[in-house]
Structure 1
Amino acid sequence: MLSVKPLNGSFGVEVFDSGLGTPEAEEQAAELVEALYRHQLLVFSGVDLSPAAQVRITELFGAPTLPWDPTFAHPDSPYVEEMREAPHGAPRRPAEHWHSDASFRAEPTDATLLYGVTVPPEGGRTHFNDLRVPLAALPPRLRERVAPLRAVHDFGRNHATLRRAAKPVGDAEARAELAAFPPVSHPLVRPHPVTGEEALYLNEMCLDRIEGLSEDESRALLDELYAHTLRADWQYVHVWRPGDLLVWDNPSLMHRAEPVPDGHRRLVRRTTARYPGRAR
């Protein structure tokens, strides 16, 4: 049986004695997956992982998926992204906005695994925010209002614009990105693809507007939902240590990165997975 310690009042646990990275971990795969669905965020410390080992661990949670942007693909595996983060003088990078990974795709990312190879002694933290508990805590009339609504997640009007502000790209590359990721619609209250448990589905990076509302009505409602949802008691801030592996459930969490301070660097590896047994 897994040994866990809660990280936050509403979600997240640190996992001990899992044998992660060893053949024994496969025997606990079902327990690890169930823990992820229940707790939304799993933290493993002091893990020594090669890219190939990270892919094998990813397979415990589902089918590994290729990154939507192959720019940072690791030479040893197309499923592994290696991201070297340094201080920047640009406006906030896209990842510094609250988001759920790849919500601009018709099939968004289910699980994300992020492994800390090199981490700064300060800064560069990762913030997480629950989306299940804030939904349950909505005033009844507001919950009734948002329950049937759908929202447009638009790579072109939001995410791509933020990326180009931080790192300009050529016209041809920009046109290719926009063609690859047309706007998609998702429920504003989204059932978990496996458990069916509902959560708000918000994203500062990609969520553009709510269908059926005027621009002003849409913005006012989104502002109200963000103000309600983004509260310290529904958040966990992870202070990275080398060898940390974080596994999180995108359908029920938002996250954002902090910038890396001057004079420091951060190297992390990311893999993603599609859950088995998806109901919707």
Structure 2
Amino acid sequence: MARQLATEETTVLAVAQDLTEGRGMRFTPLSDHIGAEVHGMDLDRPISAEVAAELHQALGTHKLLLFRQGSISDDTHVRLLESMGRIMREDDAGSLFTHVGTTPDAYVKGTDRLRFHSDWQCAESGALQVISLYAEEMEHDDPTIFADMTYAARSLPSDLRDRVASFDLVQCTDFSGATPKDGHFRLSAQAAGVSDAYFPRSVHPLLGRHRVTGEELLNVSEQQTSHIVGMSEDESDVVFAELAKHQYGDDNRYVHHWQVGDLVIWDNIALQHARDASTGPSGRRLRRVVLNELDFGDLFAELPEAVAMS
């Protein structure tokens, strides 16, 4: 009996040690196929190469990881993301993190609705690799909605797939301030005399490949896809409406209801995200750390400096 107790005690201690070092991570699904909550990892401890590799694998599987550890410092947030890849400098000061909110120092401002998109999928190199947000303040329940474009590609009926397989898309964004309030970027919004530098654009296949995992995905988004090459906007919209049924249906959504202290990390190439109009003009502030091969200035090298980070 004493020997059995000793064995059980040793097992408990071994499991506790695994959890302390990160080897005992568990992943609880957040929806049918998008997202998992991470348990058994203390983010305040050093992150080994083995743990970082496990997180990479989990992100590839679940596309989104949620940590609910409580308060997480700037340094802890940055250290975790550094263990997973190259941190992108997004602001003109070269900071390792920025903020989403309504305060003057926020990198992403505003309370309007955000249509489904992947950040900077209009860039020649494609969408940013990984985005993370940590909820510092969350006065109202203003959830973020995620949809998986790899799942959408797998869900396409064969006849629709055959029709769109050869299509290319024009992706764009608008730094001129001319974009209509519905938030859909179109090249047709470019006014006469406005430089192309204010309307960065690139051409990508409608059915593309994830540049890290190789998975097939749909590149169409509500926000940054202007039109299909060789089609008018109206003709393109007919195709986009058919695809949207497979992109944004209830079976392909995860709605994240934020709590203060939530850290969410997601694959920005595979997932698109959206947000309804915010409840109020204040009380929502999230710290943002991004992974990408290139910095903002490299993605949009032609953008006039005066508007690059406005």
Question: TM-score, normalising length from structure 2?
Answer: 0.74
Give the 3-state SS of the residue equivalent to 1:61 in structure 2. coil
* Structure of higher RCO (CA pairs closer than 8 Å, 6+ residues apart): 1
Q: 1:57 and 1:224 mapped to 2: Cα distance?
A: 39
Q: 1:164 and 1:21 mapped to 2: Cα distance?
A: 41
Pick from 110, 130, 142: which aligns with 2:129? Answer: 110
Instruction: Tell me if the contact between 1:100 and 1:202 (Cα under 8 Å) persists in the aligned partners.
Output: no
CA 1:125–1:160: 2 relative to 1, 3 Å: farther
Give the structure 1 partner of residue 35 of structure 2.
Answer: 12
Equivalent positions of 1:93-104 (< 5 A) are 93=112, 96-104=114-122
Give the structure 2 partner of residue 39 of structure 1.
Answer: 62
Give the structure 1 partner of residue 254 of structure 2.
Answer: 236
Aligned residues: CA RMSD? 2.9
Bigger Rg over Cα: 2
> Is residue 2:174 matched to residue 1:156?
yes
Q: 2:66 and 2:114 mapped to 1: Cα distance?
A: 21
Q: 2:212 and 2:176 mapped to 1: Cα distance?
A: 28
Q: 1:178-210 CA distances to partner (integer Å, 9 max, x unpaired)?
A: 626521112211211121011111221111011
Q: CA deviation at 1:163?
A: 7.9
Q: CA deviation at 1:162?
A: 5.0
* Uncovered stretches (5+) of structure 2, i.e. residues with no partner: 1-23, 104-109, 184-193, 294-310
Letter of the structure 2 residue corresponding to residue 85 of structure 1 = T
> Is residue 2:101 matched to residue 1:84?
yes
Give the 3-state SS of the residue equivalent to 2:78 in structure 1. helix
User: Sequence identity, in percent?
Assistant: 32
CA 1:162–1:49: 2 relative to 1, 3 Å: farther
CA 1:38–1:269: 2 relative to 1, 3 Å: same
Higher strand content, 1 or 2: 1
CA 1:160–1:199: 2 relative to 1, 3 Å: farther
* Uncovered stretches (5+) of structure 1, i.e. residues with no partner: 166-174, 276-280
Equivalent positions of 1:112-131 (< 5 A) are 112-120=131-139, 122-131=140-149
Instruction: Tell me if the contact between 1:119 and 1:242 (Cα under 8 Å) persists in the aligned partners.
Output: yes
Number of corresponding residues? 255
Q: 1:156 and 1:100 mapped to 2: Cα distance?
A: 15
CA 1:158–1:140: 2 relative to 1, 3 Å: farther
Give the structure 2 partner of residue 257 of structure 1.
Answer: 275
